[in-house]
Structure 1
Amino acid sequence: MKLLDRIKGVGRALRSGTVLSGVSTRPTARMLRDSKSGVLAAQQVSIVDNREEIRRSWRRAAAYALDFIQNSGKLKGACDQVLVDTVGVELVLQPQPELAELGYSPDEVAALVAQIKREWKRYAWNPRECDMRGKFTLPQLVDIGLRWYMAYGEITGILDYMPRAKRRAKGIRTGLKVCMTPPSRLVQDTNEFENLFQGVYHDEDGSPIGYLFEEKVNGVTQKVRYPAFDAEGRPTVLHLFDPTDATDVRGISVLSSAIRKHAQKEVLDEATLQTAILQTIFAAVLTSENPSKDAFEALEALEDEELRDEFVGFLQAKMDKARESTIGINGTPTVAQLGPGEDLQFRTSATPGKEYLPFASSLDRETARAIGITYSSYAMDHSDATYSSVRMENATIWPIAVRRRERLAAPMLQAVYESWFDEMVGEGRIKLKVSYEVFAANREKFTWAQWQGPAAPTADDYKSERAVSERLANGTSSIAIEGGLKGIDTDELFNQQLREHQRYVAAGMRSPYERPNQPPLPVDEPPDETTKKKAAA
């Protein structure tokens, strides 16, 4: 470069306000201000309609999620953890009918609730009664739905009705049948002219009115449309997912946001394992002072043949001596004798290094967070856990499990329960004080219910129970609230305790339900009162 060009370049730099001029650039304050390295500019992003993004990525995300779950013990265990956190063994039905306006007394409501619970138990735990295929109980079908939610991001199924003639032939009573259908059978077709988006038909208001499923009929795959509701307004298709946007039509796998991190974790584990194996295989190093090939070639160039022959003979004698010894590093390691000038060293594997565990834990934490379970339960790593950390983990994650229960598992069971209750009343197996027409007009008042799940895990049962006792003693809680938190049916608990208490008292034994420093629990009619009444008569 010429001197004149250099001078011009310096002048331009001074005018532009660079470091050379001693004057800094004008400061700016705005949103998304980039750094000097341009880290934000390197990220090419755009705003995309969420439902369009789900439609574009649905199949790929589901395929990745299914493959990872099937080939990863951690993800398989995470799915099981989601199930036990959400539903446990089952969600317990708690009918909450509001029938005071229809002439029901509290005792009549209690009797109706008890009958509903008994009949529901018989239905839900009989595969032939509740499952169209006759294979699984209703709690098992809920488990299947939650596993689909993990892989596909949604739960799909069809509420079908079996005619009486077919039921009579099979020896079953209930006509309502749940036919769980994989979300992959809900087609991905989109037709704006028919208001069909990703297999779901909508009306002019955006409400779903039909679903398009793929079915095999006599070995031929065809598309069948099912209405969202029947003529009475009862749901005929189960379609549950956790939406992100108000316009969402389908769900997407829970693992979609963690797929990249889980793939990176698999690559890290594979690379670490292969490196460790290679370092272990080549961990034994034998060093020798003997000349190399170049040294032997140099000996051949010596002009003094006598000196060359003597040196070669000396090396030959050392090699013959070394040949008599053996070195074994197999199942029976032995070292008999090394050659002169040789040294045997054992190297330890340098992989994984000290950075492996923190980095691997970071990847696992991100995956566990996306799923909605604790890192400890996902990685089974309790090395640094304390009482406070476990309580904070549960306090953070447990509301997510309860939310999952209320958004997915409970609505699925509620839809089945409402149709089942309608059939039971219509066929006269549950007797009501009102006619079926009155029931149909007030269906929501009869079928309103709550679903109780498992109790929240505790780090110390003794401290947790003391806290429950304090809340009850202070009047800030109730048996119903505490029982609900533990997943206990308080009505069944009360009836069971009452029966056992009366049995102990009638046998002249002390009831285990008598609290210390409290008067004995009353019975229907104490023995002394009964004796006095008989004497007076």
Structure 2
Amino acid sequence: MAWFNRTPEEKALRAALALVQSRPKAQGGGGGSETRWRGASRVLRSMASWIPFLGSPSKDLSTVERKTLVARSRDAMRNHLLGRAAVVRLRTNVVGTGLICRPQVDFEALGISEEEGERINTLLEREWGLYAEDPRECDAEASSTHYQLQGIALISALTGGDVFVTTPDIERQGTLFSTRLQLVETDRVCNPNGAPDTDNLVEGVEFDDAGAPVYVHVCSGYPNEKRLSKPLTWERLRVFGEATGRRRVLQVWCDKERPGQKRGAPYLAPVLEPLQKLERYSSAELMAAVISAMFTVFLKKSDTFNGGTLPLTAFGNDDQGNPQGQSPDLPPVQLGEGAVVDLAPGEEPMVANPARPNAQFDPFFTAVAKEIGAALEIPLDELMLHYNSSYSAARAAMLQAWRMYLTRRWWLVCDFCQPSYELLIDEAVARGRVRLPGYADPARRRAYTRTVWIGPAKGAIDELKEANAAGRRIEIGVSTETIEAAAMTGENWHQIYRQRRREVMQRRADGMELDAAPAAATVPAEPKQPEEE
């Protein structure tokens, strides 16, 4: 083959081989003598066939491959037990019943008193509650509250790689606001009419020379589905308002792992292959166990029966449609539960034992599930909801999983919750419902829209130990009551304090106040037991 007809990979491999032959064998050290890193060797047998390509984020996650990953991830979410467990586990722990918004106005940056800041916080929280708790206010489809939209957006982003949120202005009778949130699945954001990507357009996202998104092309339907009523159209939506610079289209990511990446990969993408094989293995073992639960019998035909050595089925059917050698008066031979079959002359029962259930199924399934959980950052105990180890191991699994849950929660807040809150406050100020002096100044606007989003608490295996540990952290000064209250109950400390204060004052007013509060020392201590190994 001529040199100019060879592929770049063949040229590189031949150049590497020539370099090996020209160098002493000792150079490079212990293995790939043409390189100083074994992982970069093209000569070692274990590495010779591993020749990946270098590409941009768009090439490494091409349109065709991404669509395949999305389709398979959705199918795994629907039909694979382990795949669905991983996705819903994130939804339950990251969002749960919804992330609650607690406004935290930066009163120092605004030059106001702390009391005035608390008054504004209460006012903004009330406005947000009117918007987030009513599906007709926040949802363009008028079917879900903001807390439900959080869970839907998270699942859609996990299975599709990303999900887009448009913010149309829709007036409705009986509502206070017109800013709506409309979730757009990843399939509907694509190039118009299936056009190929360009230098500034990748899978429906149009960006400027700096890489910032400028427009998003949203299809009126799903491109892979035929619409008989009217043809598909594409709407070119601005990501940022032309006059105000406000965010008008949100992109909720599953993961963004590379600079310049425009579209995301599904959460289950790295584990789809082992997940599919494990599901098939599990289904096969389950079916084998079902079959082995029945009394399986094979009928052995005598070689002298019917004057030949072939099985009866080889002779076909007679004129009446019955198998050769079988009387039409006899019922068909079938397996039954506790059935007794009268065998014909020349037939002998042979029992087959498939040896199920397989004793090696659980260890192998667990080993593969551990690898899948490690790739998804979910420990096996948390993934399977099976805590059969010691207290320390189970607690370590929960803590490690919650590191990932909190990271996912932070991404969801940055991509969806906080931007939608800021859009609502913008409209509330524009409508005159809330008066915030100097709100037009970007610095003051950020000071007014600072928030804390509180989600479901992580819970505890032993609540007494967790409560004592929280009290000790507060006592030695490494934590605060606000942090511990949010971590243990998911509630704001100020609300807990105000409610507790009302309860104590009501007890005193009713004459029910105890002479002395029960001390912590009066709580009977549990007998100390050796920790399980």
2:56 corresponds to 1:49: yes
The whole-number CA distance in structure 1 between the counterparts of 2:495 and 2:501 is 10
Task: Quote the residue 2:198 is aligned against.
Answer: 192
Three-state SS of the structure 1 residue aligned to 2:268 is helix
- How many residues were matched structurally? 454
Determine what percentage of the aligned residue pairs are the same residue. Answer: 24
The residue type equivalent to 1:489 in the other structure is N
TM-superposed deviation, 1:113 = 0.7
The residue type equivalent to 2:462 in the other structure is D
The whole-number CA distance in structure 2 between the counterparts of 1:443 and 1:190 is 40
Three-state SS of the structure 2 residue aligned to 1:252 is coil
TM-superposed deviation, 1:48 = 2.7
Structure showing the higher helix proportion among its residues: 1
The residue type equivalent to 1:204 in the other structure is D
Candidates 397, 401, 411, aligned match of 1:393:
397
The whole-number CA distance in structure 1 between the counterparts of 2:515 and 2:137 is 39
TM-superposed deviation, 1:251 = 0.5
The residue type equivalent to 2:52 in the other structure is V
- When normalised by structure 1's length, the TM-score is 0.76
The C-alpha deviation readout for 1:264-301, integer Å capped at 9, x for no partner, is 1122123334444555556447899xx8539x999xxx
TM-superposed deviation, 1:385 = 2.4
The whole-number CA distance in structure 2 between the counterparts of 1:329 and 1:376 is 41
TM-superposed deviation, 1:329 = 7.4
- Pick which of 245-254 and 113-122 moved more: 113-122
Candidates 429, 433, 436, aligned match of 1:429:
433
Q: After superposition, where does 1:58-137 map in structure 2 within 5 Å?
A: 58-137=66-145
The whole-number CA distance in structure 2 between the counterparts of 1:480 and 1:151 is 35
TM-superposed deviation, 1:219 = 3.1
Equivalent residues of 1:82, 1:401 under 8 A apart: yes
2:283 corresponds to 1:270: yes
- Pick which of 84-93 and 271-280 moved more: 271-280
2:238 corresponds to 1:236: no
Three-state SS of the structure 2 residue aligned to 1:62 is helix
2:423 corresponds to 1:412: no
Equivalent residues of 2:164, 2:251 under 8 A apart: yes
Higher-Rg structure is 1
Task: In structure 1, list runs of 5 or more residues that go unmatched.
Answer: 1-24, 299-326, 519-537
- Pick which of 422-431 and 265-274 moved more: 265-274
Residues 1:45 and 1:159: Cα distance change in structure 2 (over 3 Å): same
TM-superposed deviation, 1:74 = 3.5
TM-superposed deviation, 1:495 = 1.2
Residues 1:278 and 1:26: Cα distance change in structure 2 (over 3 Å): farther
Task: Quote the residue 2:336 is aligned against.
Answer: 330
Equivalent residues of 1:191, 1:197 under 8 A apart: yes
Residues 1:428 and 1:514: Cα distance change in structure 2 (over 3 Å): farther
Task: Quote the residue 1:443 is aligned against.
Answer: 445
Task: Quote the residue 1:379 is aligned against.
Answer: 384
TM-superposed deviation, 1:110 = 0.7
2:459 corresponds to 1:485: no
Residues 1:38 and 1:517: Cα distance change in structure 2 (over 3 Å): closer
The residue type equivalent to 1:221 in the other structure is L
Three-state SS of the structure 2 residue aligned to 1:143 is helix
Equivalent residues of 1:91, 1:452 under 8 A apart: yes
Candidates 230, 243, 246, aligned match of 2:259:
246
The C-alpha deviation readout for 1:237-260, integer Å capped at 9, x for no partner, is 011212111111111101110110
Task: Quote the residue 1:31 is aligned against.
Answer: 37
The C-alpha deviation readout for 1:330-369, integer Å capped at 9, x for no partner, is 33456999x9xx9978654323433322222233233333
Task: Quote the residue 2:527 is aligned against.
Answer: none
Q: After superposition, where does 1:338-349 map in structure 2 within 5 Å?
A: 348-349=353-354
Task: In structure 2, list runs of 5 or more residues that go unmatched.
Answer: 1-24, 31-35, 222-226, 310-332, 522-533
Task: Quote the residue 1:530 is aligned against.
Answer: none
2:369 corresponds to 1:364: yes
The whole-number CA distance in structure 2 between the counterparts of 1:374 and 1:259 is 18
The residue type equivalent to 1:473 in the other structure is E
Residues 1:470 and 1:236: Cα distance change in structure 2 (over 3 Å): same
The whole-number CA distance in structure 1 between the counterparts of 2:139 and 2:395 is 39
Residues 1:202 and 1:112: Cα distance change in structure 2 (over 3 Å): same
Equivalent residues of 1:129, 1:172 under 8 A apart: yes
The residue type equivalent to 1:505 in the other structure is R
The residue type equivalent to 1:415 in the other structure is P
Equivalent residues of 1:328, 1:334 under 8 A apart: no
TM-superposed deviation, 1:475 = 2.4
Residues 1:283 and 1:26: Cα distance change in structure 2 (over 3 Å): farther
The whole-number CA distance in structure 1 between the counterparts of 2:269 and 2:414 is 24
Task: Quote the residue 1:138 is aligned against.
Answer: 146
Equivalent residues of 1:210, 1:227 under 8 A apart: yes
The whole-number CA distance in structure 1 between the counterparts of 2:516 and 2:303 is 91
